[in-house]
């Protein structure tokens, strides 16, 4: 498979394919075009020439059981992957792995990992290591430990697990979003997202405590972090309260976008009636109306860093568990307004 053949299958130019492969931050081309190109690459097993040469050289020098391949697990996704966060991290992993002579042989959701058929298939191919995106549970931990010691975790929650970790601290991310809302004069701030063992929820509570704001339990909605959860969670929030909150703090952009949709459906305006903030800064956030204020997570950079650390461990470059912390950034757009300016 050549670059020109990839371009033809993806209905783009060869130069577009090349620039997508070599982009350091996923900034080249639209998300739809990038996904189309990467889907073709994945389905055809294409490996860039430089990476292919590295793969052959390493294969000749290493143990015959190794095959220069890794698996990627979306730990918080059960069957379908709706949130673009995990796929964008995975793209960064795959792109860097290819550059270093490795291929991403498999991607799984948590549902696949729990299914012995899929799990057995992956391990039969003897992948050299695994990248886990998102917080994982004991079932997945047992699965990992039974198959490999070469593991890197990528996410927002620090894990009490003896493995390499690439983090953007979700607690600090949550504080960033909450402190911005509080700084804009909001006091009745609702919460949409997971409430059990999630650092973003901890940040929601702590930010209000530090500001002397009494937490109202009616404003806290535990919901699945997807579109349905965000839409139905907003419906429940409005039903549980005699008046809308000043603002809604959402643990990801998918929930925030769904919340804006429900608010609009019931005749409430964002941000004139209710301010909304998200977390992740997915590409869609800048195209909805109003454009979503959010906290940027360096998704591609997290993936690239994870691939480097995982491959370094596979190749015996380090033995002690590493923890790498990447920064976040507030992205101010249109969905939050100062309370007194309404």
Half-sphere exposure of 21 (CA within 13 A, CB side): 22
C-alpha angle 193/197/246, rounded to 5°? 35
Beta-bridge partners for 222 = 193
pLDDT at 61: 47
C-alpha angle 255/256/258, rounded to 5°? 65
Residue 115: CB partners within 8 Å, gap ≥ 6? none
Q: Is 201 helix (H, G, I), strand (E, B) or coil?
A: helix
Domain segments of the chain as ranges: 47-168+298-327, 170-296
Contact 202, 156 (CB under 8 A): no
Contact 113, 322 (CB under 8 A): no
pLDDT at 81: 61
Cα separation, 90 vs 81, in Å, equals: 12
82-121: pLDDT as tens digits: 788 999 999 999 999 998 999 888 787 766 665 645 555 5
pLDDT at 123: 54
| Equal CATH topology for 47-168+298-327 and 170-296 | yes
User: What secondary structure letter does DSSP report for 65?
Assistant: T
pLDDT at 35: 80
* Class of the CATH-defined domain 47-168+298-327: alpha beta
Predicted TM-score (pTM) of the model is: 0.82
pLDDT at 58: 53
C-alpha angle 162/86/1, rounded to 5°? 105
* Class of the CATH-defined domain 170-296: alpha beta
Low-confidence residues of the chain, pLDDT below 70? 1, 24-27, 42, 45-66, 77-81, 110-126, 139-141
pLDDT at 131: 94
Helix, strand, coil abundance in the chain, percent, nearest 5:
45, 15, 35
pLDDT at 24: 61
Which of 207, 205, 199, 154 is closest to 176 using CA atoms? 207
């Amino acid at each position: 498979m050549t670059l020109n053949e990839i371009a033809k299958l993806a209905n783009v130019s060869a130069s577009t394919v090349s620039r997508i492969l070599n982009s350091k931050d996923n900034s080249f081309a639209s998300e739809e075009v990038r996904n189309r190109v990467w889907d073709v690459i994945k389905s055809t097993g294409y490996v860039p020439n430089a990476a292919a040469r590295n793969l052959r050289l390493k294969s000749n020098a290493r143990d015959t059981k190794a095959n220069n391949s890794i698996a990627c697990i979306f730990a918080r996704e059960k069957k379908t992957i709706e949130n673009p966060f995990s796929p964008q991290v995975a793209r960064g992993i795959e792109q860097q792995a290819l550059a270093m002579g490795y291929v991403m042989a498999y991607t799984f959701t948590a549902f696949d990992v729990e299914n012995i058929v899929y799990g057995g298939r992956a391990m039969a191919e003897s992948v050299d290591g695994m990248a886990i995106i998102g917080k994982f549970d004991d079932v997945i931990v047992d699965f990992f430990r039974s198959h490999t010691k070469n593991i890197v975790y990528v996410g927002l929650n620090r894990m009490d697990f003896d493995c390499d970790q690439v983090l953007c601290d979700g607690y600090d991310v949550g504080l960033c979003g909450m402190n911005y809302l509080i700084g804009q004069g909001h006091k009745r701030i609702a919460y949409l997202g997971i409430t059990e063992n999630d650092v973003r929820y901890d940040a929601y509570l702590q930010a209000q405590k530090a500001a002397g704001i009494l937490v109202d339990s009616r404003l806290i909605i535990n919901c699945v972090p997807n579109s349905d959860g965000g839409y139905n969670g907003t419906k429940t929030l409005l039903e549980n309260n005699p008046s809308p909150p000043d603002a809604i703090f959402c643990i990801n952009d998918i929930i925030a976008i769904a919340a804006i949709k429900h608010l609009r459906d019931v005749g409430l305006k964002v941000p004139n009636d209710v301010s909304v903030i998200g977390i992740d800064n997915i590409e869609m956030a800048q195209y909805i109306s109003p454009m979503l204020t959010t906290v940027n997570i360096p998704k591609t950079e997290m993936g690239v860093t994870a691939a480097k650390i995982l491959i370094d461990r596979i190749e015996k470059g380090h033995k002690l568990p590493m923890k790498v912390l990447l920064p976040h950034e507030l992205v101010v757009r249109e969905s939050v307004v100062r309370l007194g300016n309404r």
